[in-house]
Amino acid sequence: MIDDVAKEHLHGDLRELREVLLQKIEGLGEYEIRRPLTRTGTNLLGLVKHLALWESRYFGEVFDRPFPEPLPRWDDLGQRGADLWVTEHETREEIVGRYRRAWAHSDATIAALSLDSPGHVPWWPRPGVTLFAVLVHMLTETARHAGHADILREQLDGSIEAATGERDEAFWEARRDRIERAAVKAARTERGHDA
Over residues 162-189, the pLDDT tens digits come to 545 667 778 878 887 888 888 888 888 8
- Give 194's pLDDT tier (boundaries 50, 70, 90): low
Nearest CA-CA partner of 30 in 88, 94, 97 = 88
88 in the same domain as 175? no
Q: Which domain holds residue 181?
A: 165-194
Q: What pLDDT score was predicted for residue 195?
A: 46
Alpha helices in 38-168 (DSSP H): 44-58, 92-112, 131-157
Q: What pLDDT score was predicted for residue 74?
A: 80
Q: What pLDDT score was predicted for residue 32?
A: 95
- Give 161's pLDDT tier (boundaries 50, 70, 90): low
Mean pLDDT, the chain, whole residue set: 90
30 in the same domain as 92? yes
170 in the same domain as 112? no
User: What pTM was estimated for this model as a whole?
Assistant: 0.87
Q: CA-to-CA distance for 105 and 82, rounded, in angstroms? A: 22
113 in the same domain as 97? yes
- Give 7's pLDDT tier (boundaries 50, 70, 90): very high
182 in the same domain as 134? no
85 in the same domain as 149? yes
* Domain total of the chain: 2
106 in the same domain as 51? yes
The better pLDDT of the pair 84, 135 is held by 135
